Chains A and B, each alone.
Chain A
Amino acid sequence: MTPAPDGATAADRLPNSETASSDQALAEQGYDLCPAAAAPGRILLIACGALAREILAVTRQSGLEHLDLICLPAKLHNTPEHIPDAVRAAVTRHRASYPEIKLLYADCGTGGRLAALCDALGIEMLPGAHCYALFDGIGRFAARGEMTSFYLTDFLVRQFDAFVWRPLGLDRHPELRDLYFGNYRSLVHLAQVEDAATADLAAEHAARLGLAFERRLTGYGDLGASLETWARPGGERGSASRDI
């Protein structure tokens, strides 16, 4: 992971949020934004790189400056079987410095293995199946029951080629598109922020996949509730999962 220079706040450390290169770094290497030695009372967040910007936005908005953040490479999403080992390694590396660690991953295709690991390590994780549900709102997402929708968050819209197009081989074999997406009807852009360029890009991706396009402005959804519950002084263990 790319280490951050000392002395900067977490929000300062993330490179320009609009640059493709920083998204690529979050996808490929992740980021380690926490100080070398944790001050007392600080909580470590271990997160997916795909959530980095949103987590920093929430912590900045809510004044949760006692939360430190490291991000694992977002590309782990393409091989979810490797997520638990990466999480275990990160927890092991930071446990001595942080008595309290929270994991900002949902199940993310691990088939319950991440939850089992968190139980074994005694740490809390986000509820739900994946980050789409988290941004939409876990309850609302489940209630929609949208089986034929393909979801993209802002990060995934910007990193569409790296996370969807190329891993599925569509850059080399576009004729495979309908084998992958033939059962889908629409691409739904779950937008965290208002941004016309990202919205236009999402619409382009829908056209490339041959799907109808829908955009929903979700904001940060249940991510904020989780972070605020975890960050509250004396916050009850497990309450984040119950609240949202």
Chain B
Amino acid sequence: MTLFLLKRIAIGLVTLLVASMIVFSVMEILPGDPARLMLGMNATPEALDALREQMGLNAPVVERYISWAGGMLTGDFGRSFTYRAPVIDLIAERAVVSVPLALIALTLSTAIAIPVGIFAAARRGKLGDTVSMGTAQIGVAIPNFWFALLLIYVFAVWLRLVPAGGFPGWSGGVWPGLKALILPSIALALPQAAILARVTRSAMLEVLGEDYIRTARAKGMPRRKVLWRHALRNAMIPVLTILGLQFAFLLAGTIIIENVFYIPGLGRLVFQAITQRDLIVVEGVIMLLVASVILVNILVDVAYALVDPRLRARS
């Protein structure tokens, strides 16, 4: 298990290293000179050159890469020129909005999808199965941002139950903040829940056909107990895989959803930074997102081993 974990972490670190090189190179070929963007079109060549020197832009590419990547390891993500603040501060400020949003969405999606998937599998071919899977099929086809627009129209414009957008911050208490995140997290969660429910159902069906399930039923174990104790545990592997993948989708989904609701989170930060060519911010946020996707994938692998003792023994 330890060896397996070490190997996964090593692969993850290499992936992260290569990803950082790719992100850095992409930003290198992007048109636009940060010094000129900061000083404007009327800057004198001397002033531009002085600023480039000060920002370290005149150094060779490899040297700049090392100082950028090395800086990130010590928590120094550089300085944004549009916000005139350290990137790490911007990220920290936005993460307190985006991380709760993604977590609420993930919890919501899991809490809906897994019971629905089990329910459908247990009633395979009956009305309950058809209705829930039909709904899931539609849910998969709904673009989350369109769903968000509909939610805004119904719950914010029409019923006036929640704000239509914006975020008041956490300083005014937890409730106003949470209230602003309700619609965005539902919009993020439902399409994901639809996918997860379908996966849960098919994983359960696969397991329910196994001999040990028949044995458990034959020895007189109640149906419900068989479902929750024997079947669910064995069906968890594909479900966990999709959960891990969904985390990446959720992170990317926040870019669109935060834009729909005008929520000042990481997604909106990176989107605005791209349009303003504030590359150092883009690089920082992307690396953070990639790192978290890699980390989640490692956690999923660990979770496999936890639910399946066979995998534990093999490694």
Q: Do A and B come from one complex?
A: no
Please report A residues at the B interface, Cβ cutoff 8 Å: none
